[in-house]
Amino acid sequence: MSEKLRMGMVGGGAGAFIGAVHRMAAALDGEIVFTAGALSSTPDKARASGQALGLEERRNYGTWEEMLEGELRLPPEKRIHFVSIVTPNHLHHPVAKAFAAAGFHVVCDKPLVHTTAQALDLLDTARRSGVVFAVTYNYSGYPMVREARERVRRGELGEIRKVIVEYNQGWLATRLEEAGNKQADWRTDPARSGIAGALGDIGSHAENLMTTVTGLQLEALCADLTTFVPGRELDDDASMLLHFTGGARGLLWCSQIGIGAENDLHLRVFGTRGSLCWRQEDPNTLELHLLDSPLQLLRRGNPYLSEAARAATRLPSGHPEAFIEAFANLYRGVAEAIRARLENRDPDPLIADFPTLEDGLRGVQFIEKVVESARSNQKWTPAQLTAPMVPGR
């Protein structure tokens, strides 16, 4: 391995849950070093957070604009290779556009941006500058999700008939945003979160998981968005019926008011010759039912799994791998894609397997179509989205 790739981060300072996750994941394989940051919304908090994390003073910036200017002043061989954006949603577009336009590769948290127009603007910017751009739908990084995807692609389930995906949490069953909880505060604020609440925060993950595994293209949907907690402006529960091109049907339900639910992301896929089931809270197991055959429990780390699943695995079977490692698989994929650019070669498709800007665009389109459907009296809302991407691009 050549020198480590240098990562900058925008957001993710003191009090932020996901920033620490990204830093741990990026560091896991020893290929990436956290080098620069603008880690909070105010300069003093940003610098205090960077100091606590051991950033060099000269690369511990007060704002993301300072960070961009400061890195561009450095010789190319000293600059960060990419920026990781872990801010509330409203800052994704301006930060990602500025860094991508300046030639820095980008890793951006989900949902990508507030609107399809912003997503298309980022797509144009990234294509013009030729940068790698990843969107951290982290559940796509689990080995057994990749195994499920491979089983569907190989046709083991036959023709897909039905997909059921649900993502249930209970942490927003009360007005937690009024109790000083930073995460609840911005997620329930339309100015920062966008037009959707639970739908954007976790429903976007459910859509990506469903599409990643099945490869199905959405054709139309019928959605119901509900705000159960009085005084809240955005949805905290969403249900929808889905029609896919080719005739498959689906159900998607996401909720953040399900008392007792922790982080229950659950996918079931039913075909003409079999079905599969995967749960994020038991991520190392994939249930496979084939027609007229007994239930098979496929376990992570075993030699009978696909190359894609084995490539996403670090530990022998029986040693659980989970949330951080799934995130790390995306960062390892980004690192492989960037190194391939630097070394003028094709990336290894088994490693460079991560959600791209096109996947992020589709996620934004999905959110907008669900909101449109929920506001309409029409039973079915046409919802042709950007086609699912093939990994290794």
Pairing relation of β-strands 32-38 and 5-10?
parallel
Q: Please report, in angstroms and rounded to a whole number, the separation of the first and last CA atoms in the chain.
A: 21
> How high is the pLDDT of residue 15?
80
DSSP per position, 17-31: HHHHHHHHHHHTTSS
Q: Does position 117 have pLDDT exceeding 50, yes or no?
A: yes
Q: Cα-flanking dihedrals φ and ψ of residue 101, to 5°? A: -65, -30
Q: Per-residue confidence at 14, pLDDT binned at 50, 70, 90? A: confident
Specify the pTM: 0.95
pLDDT digits (tens, 9 = 90+) for 28-76: 999 999 999 999 989 999 999 999 999 999 999 999 999 999 999 999 9
141-165: average pLDDT: 98
Neighbours of 328 (CB within 10 A): 25
SS3 of 93, please? helix
pLDDT digits (tens, 9 = 90+) for 263-302: 999 999 999 999 999 999 999 999 999 999 999 999 999 9
Closest CA to 172 of 228, 240, 109: 228
Q: What is the DSSP letter of 258?
A: -
88-92: average pLDDT: 97
Q: What is the DSSP letter of 158?
A: -
Cα 309 to Cα 368: distance, rounded to the nearest angstrom: 32
Cβ contact 145:311 at 8 Å: no
Q: Per-residue confidence at 304, pLDDT binned at 50, 70, 90? A: very high
